Amino acid sequence: MLLPGTGSDEVFVRAVFAGPLRALGVPLVAPPPPPGAALADGYLATLDALADEHGALLVGGISFGAHLAAEWAVRNAARCGGLLAALPAWNGVPGPAPASQAATLTADLVAGSGVGAALAQTEGSPGWLRAELDRAWRRHGAGLAGSLRVAAGRPAPTLGELAALDVPAGIGTCTDDPVHPTKVASAWASALPRAALGETTLTALGADRESLGRATVLAFLKTLRPGKLRS
Cα atoms found within 13 Å of the Cα of residue 65, Cβ hemisphere only: 28
Give pLDDT tens digits for 46-90.
999 999 999 999 999 999 999 999 999 999 999 999 999 999 999
Q: What is the pTM of this model?
A: 0.95
**Rounded to the nearest 10 degrees, what angle do helices 144-153 and 127-140 cross at?**
110
**Architecture in CATH for domain 2-222:** 3-Layer(aba) Sandwich (3.40)
Q: What is the pLDDT of residue 176?
A: 97
Averaged confidence pLDDT in the chain: 96
**pLDDT higher than threshold 80 for residue 91:** yes
Residues 6 or more apart from 183 whose CB is under 8 A from it? none
Give pLDDT tens digits for 15-44.
999 999 999 999 999 999 999 999 999 999
% of the chain exceeding 90 in pLDDT: 96
User: What is the maximum span of the chain, computed from C-alpha positions, in angstroms?
Assistant: 54
Q: Mean pLDDT throughout 184-210?
A: 98
Q: What is the pLDDT of residue 199?
A: 98
Q: What is the pLDDT of residue 230?
A: 44
- Residue 168: pLDDT band by 50, 70, 90 thresholds? very high
Contact 199/107 with Cβ under 8 angstroms?
no
Residues 6 or more apart from 96 whose CB is under 8 A from it? none
**Rounded to the nearest 10 degrees, what angle do helices 39-54 and 64-75 cross at?**
50
Q: What is the pLDDT of residue 153?
A: 97
Please give the Cα distance from 47 to 4 (Å, whole number): 14
Domain limits of the chain?
2-222
**pLDDT higher than threshold 70 for residue 139:** yes
